[in-house]
Structure 1
């Protein structure tokens, strides 16, 4: 039960999300190849020590970058799950009020007059 106005927005979101997934997959495979090459160069005996140090540093940086890409993929997956969960909750109970004592920041608190009125 989605409204007609939200369908194009959802389609656009899904299109962008799929494009990101494919681009990240390409980036991860390319980075994986570069990491393997850097590891080979770092372990190479004929290479001078200072070059092996540079290749080792590069491999570490590439591993860190690959990890950051994977973390961003995890965050996007959690965002998708949160959107789906939010829709399910709103569809099931659209008019339910928050429980008593719940801090509702959207509206200011009701002012009460605590002064003693003379009789």
Structure 2
């Protein structure tokens, strides 16, 4: 069995993201053509009224589906941005130090109360 390429071992997310983006681009292009055809047929005077209703319904469904694809693209981009921000936060976390003069409370001895 052959070993996977080095890029896949390192981080498969960018490769999958590029593939999804190219597939979505082709899907949106095909949907755009189908929506244009359905809207053209729904406005056709030669088609009977019952067929025009079906074409109109189909155009609406295709528009909804295209919108769902675009929403998933924006969700994926937000997920990618969140991943980058998380990585930056985890890299900075060891560098964080308490401000000078700040003492952490110890749990061995309770805090002293001032008696009035």
Q: Which secondary structure does the structure 1 equivalent of 2:41 belong to?
A: helix
Runs (4+) of structure 1 moved beyond 2 Å?
A: 94-97
Aligned to 2:18: 18
Aligned to 1:44: 44
Per-residue deviation, residues 9-28 of structure 1 (Å, max 9, x unmatched): 42x11111100000000000
Q: Which runs of 5+ in 1 are unaligned?
A: 1-6, 98-119
**Partners of 2:21 and 2:57 in 1: CA distance:** 28
RMSD over aligned Cα atoms: 1.7
Per-residue deviation, residues 85-112 of structure 1 (Å, max 9, x unmatched): 0001111123769xxxxxxxxxxxxxxx
Aligned to 1:73: 73
How many residue pairs get aligned? The number is 90
Aligned to 1:8: 9
Q: Which runs of 5+ in 2 are unaligned?
A: 1-7, 98-116
Structure 1 length normalisation: TM-score? 0.71
Structure 2 length normalisation: TM-score? 0.73
